[in-house]
Structure 1
Amino acid sequence: MNRTHAVIPPLSAYKARHVLMTVTDGVASITLNRPEKKNPLTFDSYDELTAIFAAARKDETTHAFVISGAGGNFSSGGDVLEIIGPLTEMNVPQLLRFTEMTGDLVKTMRACPQPIISAIDGICAGAGAIIAMASDLRFGTEASKIAFLFNRVGLAGCDMGACAMLPRIIGQGRASELLYTGRALGGAEAERWGFFNRLVDPANLIEEATKLARQLASGPTFANGMTKRMLQAEWAMSIDDAVEAEAIAQALCMKTEDFRRAYEAFANKQKPVFKGD
Structure 2
Amino acid sequence: MTKSASDTPRLLIEARGPVEWVTLNRPDALNALNPGMIEDLRDYFLGLPDRRDVRIVVLRGAGRAFCAGLDLKNESSANDTASGGGVQRGLKTQRRIAEIVMAMRRCPQPIISLIQGAACGGGFSLALASDIRIAGESARMNCAYIRIGLGGCDIGSSYFLPRLVGASLAAELILTGKFISAERALRVGLVAQVVPDAGLEAAAQEDIDLMLTTSPLGLRMSKEALNINLDAGGIEAAIALEDRNQILCAQTEDFREGLKSFLTRKPPVWKDA
| Alignment TM-score, normalising by the size of structure 1 | 0.91
Q: Is the 8 A contact 1:141 1:201 kept in 2?
A: yes
Structure 1 SS opposite 2:191: coil
Structure 2 SS opposite 1:74: coil
Counterpart amino acid of 1:262?
Answer: G
Counterpart amino acid of 2:17?
Answer: D
Residue 8 of structure 1 corresponds to which residue in structure 2? Answer: none
CA shift for structure 1 position 85:
4.2
Residue 39 of structure 1 corresponds to which residue in structure 2? Answer: 31
Residue 264 of structure 2 corresponds to which residue in structure 1? Answer: 268
Q: Which has the higher contact order (CA 8 A, sep 6+)?
A: 1
Residue 67 of structure 2 corresponds to which residue in structure 1? Answer: 75
Consecutive unaligned residues of structure 2, counting only runs of 5 or more, are 4-9
**Residues 1:173 and 2:198 aligned together:** no
| Rounded Cα–Cα distance in structure 2 between residues aligned with 1:120 and 1:240 | 36
Q: Deviations over 1:119-141 (max 9, x none)?
A: 00111101000000000000002
What percent of counterpart residues are identical? Answer: 31
Q: Is the 8 A contact 1:121 1:141 kept in 2?
A: yes
Alpha-carbon spacing, 1:264–1:218, altered in 2? closer, same or farther (3 Å): closer
Counterpart amino acid of 2:71?
Answer: D
Alpha-carbon spacing, 1:218–1:49, altered in 2? closer, same or farther (3 Å): farther
Structure 2 SS opposite 1:274: coil
| Rounded Cα–Cα distance in structure 1 between residues aligned with 2:212 and 2:111 | 11
Bigger mean CA offset, 226-235 vs 182-191: 226-235
CA shift for structure 1 position 273:
3.2
Q: Is the 8 A contact 1:137 1:197 kept in 2?
A: yes
CA shift for structure 1 position 267:
2.0
Alpha-carbon spacing, 1:206–1:267, altered in 2? closer, same or farther (3 Å): closer
Residue 21 of structure 1 corresponds to which residue in structure 2? Answer: 13
Q: Deviations over 1:34-81 (max 9, x none)?
A: 111111011111111111111110111111011111112101001012
Equivalent runs, 1:152-191 vs 2, <5 Å: 152-191=147-186
Bigger mean CA offset, 178-187 vs 163-172: 163-172
Structure 1 SS opposite 2:50: coil
Residue 62 of structure 1 corresponds to which residue in structure 2? Answer: 54
| Rounded Cα–Cα distance in structure 2 between residues aligned with 1:75 and 1:58 | 27
Bigger mean CA offset, 104-113 vs 77-86: 77-86
Q: Deviations over 1:156-197 (max 9, x none)?
A: 122111111111111111111100000000011011111110
Counterpart amino acid of 1:241?
Answer: A
| RMSD (Å), alpha carbons | 1.4
Q: Is the 8 A contact 2:80 2:93 kept in 1?
A: no
CA shift for structure 1 position 86:
4.2
Q: Deviations over 1:210-269 (max 9, x none)?
A: 342243234212111111111111233222111112111111111122211111122223
Residue 238 of structure 2 corresponds to which residue in structure 1? Answer: 242
Aligned length: 263
| Rounded Cα–Cα distance in structure 2 between residues aligned with 1:205 and 1:242 | 33
Q: Is the 8 A contact 2:84 2:90 kept in 1?
A: no
Equivalent runs, 1:1-277 vs 2, <5 Å: 15-17=1-3, 18-82=10-74, 83-87=77-81, 88-237=83-232, 238-277=234-273
Q: Is the 8 A contact 1:27 1:214 kept in 2?
A: no
Residue 7 of structure 2 corresponds to which residue in structure 1? Answer: none
Q: Deviations over 1:87-125 (max 9, x none)?
A: 343111111111111111011100110000000011110
